[in-house]
Amino acid sequence: MVEMLSPLQPVWRPGSHGNFADGVGVVLSETQPGSIVQAAAWPGSERAVIAAIKTATGLSLPDGAGGGVATEAKAAFGFAPGRFLIVADDEGLADTLVQAIPISDGTVTDLSHGRTAIRIAGVKAEWVLQKFFAVDFSLPALPVGSGISTNHHDIFAQIQRTGPDRFDLYVFRSFARSFWKMLCHGCDEVGYEVR
Amino acid sequence: MLIPCPYCGPRDVSEFTYQGDAGRVRPDPASTDQAAWNAYVYDRTNPAGDHHEYWQHSGGCRSHLKVTRNTLSHRILDVAFARPSTAHASSRRQGPRP
Ligand SMILES: [Zn+2]
């Protein structure tokens, strides 16, 4: 695999920052998945697309709006009616899904070069995200695995909770550096580590 | 004001785009009845009370919604997909109606 370039590179400062004297509240990282793919079902074909995602990735999407699942190497969640984001460490997922989802059931869009994946993890992750997005991030409202689409200053963000204290954010690559800088400012007060 | 999106759950009004009165009936596109077109384009009842209106969750799932809102209290009385959806509907993220 060729070395991946990051839009965050010019502002990437590994180490502890902000008010970390009493401990680090969150750890920020860029997960750099090899594949970020959107699948959209035509009305009535939602279940067929969910079944195809399972065949192609082994990920079984649970019933319900925003339902999702995350393993260490792959993740998927619904972010709108009949629309799903599927992410994998390996490259080539879009091709696999194109094979699995016939055009009569839905469409597949490769967003691997269009999104940047940012992970925020730690006891203060909910607290920090709550400052940016007008969404309930509590565990009962957003269980592990499930995802949402929302926005920040009119810029879209898709967010999946991949652990009790861990969230993966997918933002437009062209806005990723600006979003990252803002996120770092938001993390200052709780102390953060870039890793 | 919160609008409980049938897919996303309750979200701030800033995530939504207003798309107008949902009670209008468009004349047949082939119609040349000017009075009917004038009424469709311009006439609004502007009620002080319950109002059916379209909103798009443009900053979220992008669904088009049909909302019943009280124009005096901003209370949201009902929300549904503008076009009935066969997709997964949310049952778990609907908070209490405001
Ligand atoms: Zn929505």
Identify the band that residue A181 occupies on the pLDDT scale cut at 50, 70 and 90.
very high
What does the pLDDT look like over A83-112, one tens digit per residue? 999 999 999 999 999 999 999 999 999 999
A176's torsion region: left (phi>0), alpha (psi -120 to 50) or beta? alpha
**pTM of the shown model:** 0.92
**Does B98 reside within a domain?**
no
The CA distance from A158 to the nearest CA of chain B, in Å, is 9
* Per-residue model confidence (pLDDT) at position B98: 37
* Per-residue model confidence (pLDDT) at position B85: 67
As a whole number of angstroms, the distance between CA A40 and CA B45 comes to 38
> Could A64 and B59 be called an inter-chain contact, meaning their C-beta atoms sit closer than 8 Å?
no
**Does A56 reside within a domain?**
yes
* Per-residue model confidence (pLDDT) at position A63: 76
As a whole number of angstroms, the distance between CA A62 and CA A77 comes to 9
Interface test with A, best of B58, B81, B86, B91 (most A CBs within 10 A): B86
* Per-residue model confidence (pLDDT) at position B97: 40
As a whole number of angstroms, the distance between CA A161 and CA A166 comes to 6
As a whole number of angstroms, the distance between CA A28 and CA A193 comes to 6
The CA distance from B58 to the nearest CA of chain A, in Å, is 9
**Does A3 reside within a domain?**
no
| Three-class DSSP labels, chain A | CCCCCCCCHHHCCCEEECCCCCCCCEEEEECCCCEEEEEEECCCCHHHHHHHHHHHHCCCCCCCCCCEEECCCEEEEEEECCEEEEEECCCCHHHHHHHHCCCCCEEEEECCCCEEEEEEECCCHHHHHHHHCCCCCCCCCCCCCCEEEEEECCEEEEEEEEECCEEEEEEEHHHHHHHHHHHHHHHHHHCEEEC
As a whole number of angstroms, the distance between CA A64 and CA A61 comes to 9
Instruction: Share the mean pLDDT of chain B.
Output: 88
* Per-residue model confidence (pLDDT) at position B96: 42
The whole-number average pLDDT for the span A29-56 is 95
Find the radius of gyration of the CA atoms of chain B. Answer: 15
- In terms of domains, do A60 and A123 share one? no
Q: What is the ipTM of this complex?
A: 0.90
> Could A46 and B60 be called an inter-chain contact, meaning their C-beta atoms sit closer than 8 Å?
no
> Could B61 and A81 be called an inter-chain contact, meaning their C-beta atoms sit closer than 8 Å?
yes
Choose the final residue of a domain: A76, A110, A144.
A110
Among A44, A46, A154, the residue with its CB nearest the CB of B88 is A46
Task: Look up the CATH number of the domain holding residue A77.
Answer: 3.30.70.1520
**Does A175 reside within a domain?**
yes
As a whole number of angstroms, the distance between CA A54 and CA B50 comes to 44
Q: Does B62 contact A at CB distance below 8 Å?
A: yes
What does the pLDDT look like over B81-94, one tens digit per residue? 998 765 655 444 54
* Per-residue model confidence (pLDDT) at position B89: 53
As a whole number of angstroms, the distance between CA B52 and CA A108 comes to 35
* Per-residue model confidence (pLDDT) at position A4: 86
- In terms of domains, do A121 and A158 share one? yes
The CA distance from A51 to the nearest CA of chain B, in Å, is 14
The residue segments making up the domain with residue A136 are: 9-32+113-194
* Per-residue model confidence (pLDDT) at position B88: 57
How many domains is chain B partitioned into structurally? 1
The residue segments making up the domain with residue B31 are: 2-91
Interface test with B, best of A79, A131, A152, A155 (most B CBs within 10 A): A79
- In terms of domains, do A25 and A71 share one? no
Q: Does B59 contact A at CB distance below 8 Å?
A: yes
Tell me the sheet residues that pair with A162.
none
> Could A80 and B61 be called an inter-chain contact, meaning their C-beta atoms sit closer than 8 Å?
yes
> Could A80 and B9 be called an inter-chain contact, meaning their C-beta atoms sit closer than 8 Å?
no
* Per-residue model confidence (pLDDT) at position A105: 96
As a whole number of angstroms, the distance between CA A49 and CA A115 comes to 22
What does the pLDDT look like over A62-81, one tens digit per residue? 878 999 999 999 999 999 99
* Per-residue model confidence (pLDDT) at position A1: 60
Task: Look up the CATH number of the domain holding residue B44.
Answer: 3.30.2270.10
Task: Look up the CATH number of the domain holding residue A154.
Answer: 3.30.1360.120
- In terms of domains, do A28 and A117 share one? yes
**Does A4 reside within a domain?**
no
Instruction: Share the mean pLDDT of chain A.
Output: 95
> Could A65 and B59 be called an inter-chain contact, meaning their C-beta atoms sit closer than 8 Å?
no
Spatial CB neighbours of B7, under 8 Å, sequence gap ≥ 6: A65, A66, A80, A81, B57, B60, B61, B63, B87, B88, B89, B90
* Per-residue model confidence (pLDDT) at position B87: 60
- In terms of domains, do A62 and A154 share one? no
**Does A102 reside within a domain?**
yes
